[in-house]
Structure 1
Amino acid sequence: MVVSPTVANVFDAGLPTLTYDVFSTPAQVWPDLHDAQRTAPIAIGPMGPEVLSYEMARAVLRDTRFTIPPGINLAAQGITSGPLFDKVMSTLLCLEGSEHQRLRKLVSKAFTPRATERLHDTIVAVVDELVDNIAGARRCDVVADIARPYPIPIICALLGAPREDWRLFSDWTEDVFRAFSFSTDVATVQDDVMRAWNELDDYVDRMVAHRRRHLTDDLLSDLIRAEDDGDRLSTSELQMLAASLLMAGTDTTRNQLAASVQALSERPDQWALLADRPELAMRAVEETMRHSPVVCGAPRIVLDDVEFDGYLFPAGTFVFVNTFAANRDPAVYADADRLDLTREQAPAILTFGGGVHYCLGANLARRELAEALRILAGRLSNPRRSGSAPWKPMLGMTGPTVLELEFDA
């Protein structure tokens, strides 16, 4: 490509430098991000350019020249081939181009508002049962007692799996998700991951065979029904989508629920406001995901030289779209560091991504989080932290590892 003489190589443009440790938490990194954001829309971080401004981050997420690095967490550990790498690369999380577009088009026909709404009673029942288990003690670890067991029953109900099999799905998810974790030495657990993944595939095979004969009112049946100009999902694609749903919808919901509860409980006025006005539950989701997200960015790579907004990104450049910083951009959000459930007319958060990789399950995640926060605020009065709340590193999936609360009846 011919580079305009007015375009500066992103590495030679005098951009601010971020020197944080890759194992730092969002709270530890934020002061450096905040200072850099006031200087330029991009900073050079430990892994390469980090996009910090809201407008640029949104534009990069929508630009197909910035693609998802293939199998990034496995490649970072030197795993670039083999059965597990092939399995990960076949998921909807890693696909690109026409095949990704084809599958999203079919899957979107099943991810309708109606599909989410029919889970309402299940969601409420699951949250109420979890709160019942800890209400008498007037104390709990939100991570272990509420957030961790919460999403699996919801996803199983979404797929149409019977209640007695929820534990199986939980165990499979724990094992398979290690293939997507930056903090796991994947080479040492590959056999366990593949065993769990194959067991999940076999289970889904049996579900699909049964549903093809007896369609019901669940997501798996909707996916089987989905058709676009005669194109339908194969059994292997249904396997992959079930696994992708478990991977994308379990750990994110667990961690975000704990993070959102922490953000609200540390601000008693906001917790009390939600308890008094439960109609603010969906706004509580948006605001806590803006302020205290557990997914802090989206990795991208440019395969060819890319000119973008006055900068040249050379071919092979790894780019981190720092949505944590973008969601607190003071040019877009007034008093951006403040968590405020009454915030109005705020631009859409970038935590769910953007463009062709915008999260397909965003509406379901919002519904799960909103119902949980609404019920928790209504049933746990005056929550206050009774211990430290350490977080996992910002890169990868973050969130509190422990969140001990005491509360009134």
Structure 2
Amino acid sequence: MTATSTATNVFDAGLPTLDYSLTATPHDILADLRGAQSCAPVAIGPLGPEILSYEMSRDFLRDNRFRLPPGITLAAQGITSGPLFDKLANSLLGLDGAPHIRLRKLVSKAFTPRATSRLQATIQEVVNGLVDRVMDAGRCDVVTDIARPYPTPIICALLGAPPEDWQLFADWTEEIFKAFNFQTDVTFDEAAVMRAWGELDAYVDDMVAARRDSLADDLLSELIRAESDGDRLTLDELRGLVAGFLMAGTDTTRNQLAASVQVLCEHPDQWMRLRDQPELAMQAVEESMRHSPAACIVPRAATEDIEFGGYMFPKGTFVFANTFAANRDPAIYGEADRFDIARRDVPPILTFGGGAHYCLGANLARRELAEALVVLTRRLPAPRRIGPAPWKSVLGMTGPTTLPIEFTSERLVRADA
């Protein structure tokens, strides 16, 4: 903030307050968000200022003066140093400034639409295989039977790991991801996380050694090939990127798939519309991520006293883009709470973030979700929820913890035809 600034300190501006608990779900806080949003573009939440408007959230995510503190998920649990903290702080998710720009530039050369488009057959095989397992029963839990096992095989296929090793990756991801969770009520065994991460690193070392002699048609080979002005990725960076892709591409996709299936089930007309018009799949992904996102809160910290949006944010203040609120901003979206997979002429959702940390895997995530929704709406006729579907906290990766549904067996549908 300059000496001549007259901006009011964000904590002294008389802004609306949000006093939800740290375990509150998106559904729990929607009414309060809507009330606060009608008063101001910013509210004071339980952990700090939350930006609620679409335009201000978009600008905030692009403003490099607000940065993600390295190892923030570990710091929330009292871990601010040590080997695990160092691994997170030096990952693509933890870096900022010039080191982040360099690494992202190299990775973007490998993470191309061509690299993800060749996964089409694998994606369809995986989701159809999961549906096959539950088809005859006429019911399933979408979370445990479909969403949870869905993404890991696809990320493994993208990297070039053979199918017989996919379960290893699933186990490593399950353990390592505990360190990436922002929720303060989640505890984990640091030694167990480091053990799993060490096993993953050793596996990646072997993959890299094999690719050095014979590059293949997979993402790991593309990362090895990637070069920018003579610069290449080191072995340590390759290890970190593989772990980062697994963490970023697994839990997000599985939670969003379950959330998207739930909102479609709760709007049978939209389920049938997607079944009859599969060309709407990408729009269905965008709309479900707008209406029922698995990622709702993006944390940043002010690196200095910052004047932004007419307020002064003191240095060190944790500030949150509440993208759940921003994606339902009535100033941007007509009938913002209505779920409509045919929405047109709307701005991009903020669920994938923005600015320097915009999700590198956004295209892959969209493709995975779209293909899964096309198969599910085609093969599961008239699904209906048959039990509670509680969600996780809005402060971490959210989505239903269970989603029991019942549907007409595909075999019965064919018999009646």
Q: How does 1:128-277 map to 2 (within 5 A)?
A: 128-183=128-183, 188-277=188-277
1:156 Cα deviation from its structure 2 partner: 0.3
Q: How does 1:23-102 map to 2 (within 5 A)?
A: 23-102=23-102
2:9 maps to a residue whose letter is N
1:240 maps to a residue whose letter is G
1:3 Cα deviation from its structure 2 partner: 4.0
Which residue of 2 is the match for residue 359 of structure 1?
359
Which residue of 1 is the match for residue 407 of structure 2?
407
SS of structure 1 residue aligned to 2:300: strand
Residue 348 (structure 1) aligned with residue 356 (structure 2): no
Distance 2:357 2:256 in 1: 19
Q: Greater shift after overlay, 182-191 or 132-141? A: 182-191
1:70 Cα deviation from its structure 2 partner: 2.0
Distance 1:153 1:406 in 2: 26
Distance 1:283 1:183 in 2: 31
SS of structure 2 residue aligned to 1:271: helix
Change (3 A) 1:203 1:121: same
Q: Greater shift after overlay, 180-189 or 50-59? A: 180-189
SS of structure 1 residue aligned to 2:339: coil
Which residue of 2 is the match for residue 317 of structure 1?
317
1:184 Cα deviation from its structure 2 partner: 7.0
Q: Is the 8 A contact 2:52 2:322 kept in 1?
A: yes
Which residue of 2 is the match for residue 18 of structure 1?
18
Q: Which digits, 9 at most, give the CA deviation of each residue in 1:223-280, with x for residues without a partner?
A: 0000001000011100000000000000000000000000000000000000010000
Which residue of 1 is the match for residue 113 of structure 2?
113
1:373 Cα deviation from its structure 2 partner: 0.4
1:274 maps to a residue whose letter is L
Identity %: 68
Change (3 A) 1:301 1:344: same
CA RMSD, Structure 1 to Structure 2 (Å):
1.0
Residue 288 (structure 1) aligned with residue 266 (structure 2): no
2:359 maps to a residue whose letter is C
SS of structure 1 residue aligned to 2:360: coil
1:183 Cα deviation from its structure 2 partner: 4.2
Change (3 A) 1:5 1:115: closer
1:361 Cα deviation from its structure 2 partner: 0.3
Q: Greater shift after overlay, 71-80 or 389-398? A: 71-80
Q: Which digits, 9 at most, give the CA deviation of each residue in 1:289-330, with x for residues without a partner?
A: 000001002100012100112111111111011000000000
Distance 2:308 2:251 in 1: 33
Distance 2:183 2:66 in 1: 25
SS of structure 1 residue aligned to 2:50: strand
2:354 maps to a residue whose letter is G
2:204 maps to a residue whose letter is V
Using the size of structure 2 for normalisation, the TM-score is 0.97
1:372 Cα deviation from its structure 2 partner: 0.1
Which residue of 1 is the match for residue 415 of structure 2?
none
Unaligned runs of 5+ in 2: 410-417
Moved over 6 A (4+): 184-187
Residue 369 (structure 1) aligned with residue 369 (structure 2): yes
Q: Which digits, 9 at most, give the CA deviation of each residue in 1:358-393, with x for residues without a partner?
A: 000000000000000010000000000010001101
Distance 1:387 1:53 in 2: 34
SS of structure 2 residue aligned to 1:140: strand
Which residue of 1 is the match for residue 123 of structure 2?
123
Q: Is the 8 A contact 2:77 2:184 kept in 1?
A: no
1:90 Cα deviation from its structure 2 partner: 1.4
2:176 maps to a residue whose letter is V
Q: Which digits, 9 at most, give the CA deviation of each residue in 1:50-77, with x for residues without a partner?
A: 0000000000000000000221121111
SS of structure 2 residue aligned to 1:59: helix
Distance 2:276 2:185 in 1: 46
Distance 1:330 1:381 in 2: 33
Q: Is the 8 A contact 1:3 1:307 kept in 2?
A: no
1:4 Cα deviation from its structure 2 partner: 3.8
1:284 maps to a residue whose letter is A
Distance 1:300 1:185 in 2: 20
Using the size of structure 1 for normalisation, the TM-score is 0.98
2:235 maps to a residue whose letter is T
SS of structure 2 residue aligned to 1:40: coil
Unaligned runs of 5+ in 1: none
Q: Is the 8 A contact 1:178 1:184 kept in 2?
A: no
1:182 Cα deviation from its structure 2 partner: 3.4
